[in-house]
């Protein structure tokens, strides 16, 4: 048997898992359904809170994978079905005739952005100048379609007043996302800073429920945004409507003042929350593992075994268990490698014999 560990998902968590396993002498097959590695991070020009390039991070990981001794990368590949027992899994791969044998499985399938059109009161997809955070990210990308300029989709003009609406599809029972997506406050604040850096005269207003910039350096980034003149209004936006010139009126409540308010903006960006990967339930059924109430994969124990799935020999990395910023995904990759190593030793399977 050549491969020991099969990793589903070639985002940063999956890549780091493969690297960490290789570094301790365990071979792995990294399966990615897209034509390139890096997942969503590849599309982020700047990561919070350091504003370093996500693309460069992915390229670094790719370089390391190229030189890693025990990693087999398979792009545009999907798992068709899995059978066998822990430590002896058989994995059928779509479009390939071979059956891969794996001693352990790692699920690193990431997340999906929430479809903003489901929160209908914001008019995403209907009003031209209501865009999603993913679209704003592309606008702000210097290698994106507008070469880094923020443009109004309706007329191509540069907006002077921009609203950023937090928690779209998060913390909302109505749209089936009771949980906090955890990273949206931070990436929205990053967007606000990027806009102010590019257009110092622009008026950027953020509507939030609570600011949850919890990670190292995140709160400092939030403070920096305020110092740059970004306005934060605590209150959920109830409605967006379009005016004749394409501007968007926002109706909200300022919960600090206890008063409703209305404002007109040239452009509105919806900071969408995240949902489990579309394939999560299918993969869970295929591998015989559980998903939690929020739709992300269930861990064996939230405190003791946060990277173990509910079945022996299956492990979870990155945002498969809930939203995580990039440093946490990288840390998860290392943790999972350690858990896999421990499992293989327990099952008396020595990965380094393939060296």
The residue ranges that bind other proteins (CB under 8 A) are 40, 43, 117, 120-121, 123-128, 131-132, 134-135, 138-139, 144-146, 153-156, 239, 241-244, 249
Cα–Cα distance between 73 and 270 in angstroms, integer? 35
Cα–Cα distance between 108 and 307 in angstroms, integer? 10
Which two structure tokens, joined as six digits, stand for 210?
């609570």
Smallest distance from other proteins to CB 191, Å? 15
CA 112 to chain centre: 7
Q: What are the helix (H) ranges across 167-248?
A: 184-198, 218-227
Smallest distance from other proteins to CB 271, Å? 15
Count of residues in the chain: 355
Between 242 and 312, name the residue whose CB sits nearer to other proteins.
242
Nearest residue to 350 via CA among 40, 10, 24, 19: 24
Smallest distance from other proteins to CB 124, Å? 8
Between 93 and 248, name the residue whose CB sits nearer to other proteins.
248
Smallest distance from other proteins to CB 150, Å? 11
Smallest distance from other proteins to CB 76, Å? 17
DSSP for 296-326, written as a single string: SBPPSBTTTBTTB-SSTTEEE-GGGGS---H
Between 49 and 123, name the residue whose CB sits nearer to other proteins.
123
Unique residue bearing structure tokens 């001693």: 103
Between 32 and 332, name the residue whose CB sits nearer to other proteins.
32
Between 242 and 294, name the residue whose CB sits nearer to other proteins.
242
Is-contact 297 107, C-beta < 8 A? yes
């Amino acid at each position: 048997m050549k491969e020991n560990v099969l990793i589903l998902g070639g985002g940063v968590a999956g890549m780091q898992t493969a690297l960490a396993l290789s570094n301790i002498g365990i071979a792995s097959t990294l399966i990615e359904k897209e034509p390139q590695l890096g997942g969503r991070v590849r599309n982020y020009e700047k990561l919070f809170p350091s504003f370093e390039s996500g693309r460069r991070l992915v390229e670094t990981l790719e370089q390391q994978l190229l030189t890693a001794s025990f990693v087999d990368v398979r792009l545009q590949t999907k798992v068709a079905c899995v059978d066998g027992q822990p430590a002896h899994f058989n994995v059928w791969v779509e479009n390939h005739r071979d059956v891969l044998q794996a001693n352990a499985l790692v699920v690193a399938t990431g997340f999906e952005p929430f479809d903003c059109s489901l929160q209908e009161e914001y008019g995403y997809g209907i009003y031209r100048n209501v865009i999603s955070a993913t679209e704003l990210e592309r606008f702000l990308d210097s290698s994106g379609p507008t070469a880094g300029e923020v443009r109004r989709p309706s007329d191509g003009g540069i907006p002077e007043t921009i609203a950023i609406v937090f928690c779209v599809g998060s913390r909302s029972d109505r749209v089936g996302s009771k949980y906090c997506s955890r990273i949206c406050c931070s990436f929205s604040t990053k967007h606000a800073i990027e806009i102010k850096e590019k257009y110092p005269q622009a008026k950027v207003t953020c509507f939030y429920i609570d600011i949850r910039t919890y990670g190292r350096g995140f709160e400092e980034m939030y403070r920096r945004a305020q110092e740059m003149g970004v306005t934060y209004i605590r209150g959920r936006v109830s409605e967006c409507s379009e005016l004749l010139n394409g501007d968007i009126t926002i109706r909200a409540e300022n919960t600090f003042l206890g008063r409703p308010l209305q404002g007109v903006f040239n452009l509105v960006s919806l900071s969408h929350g995240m949902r489990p990967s579309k394939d999560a339930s299918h993969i869970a059924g295929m591998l015989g593992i559980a998903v939690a109430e929020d739709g992300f994969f269930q861990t064996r124990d939230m405190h003791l075994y946060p990277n173990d799935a509910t079945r022996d020999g299956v492990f979870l990395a990155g945002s498969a268990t809930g939203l995580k910023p990039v440093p946490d995904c990288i840390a998860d990759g290392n943790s999972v490698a350690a858990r896999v190593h421990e499992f293989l030793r327990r099952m008396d399977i020595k990965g380094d014999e393939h060296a």
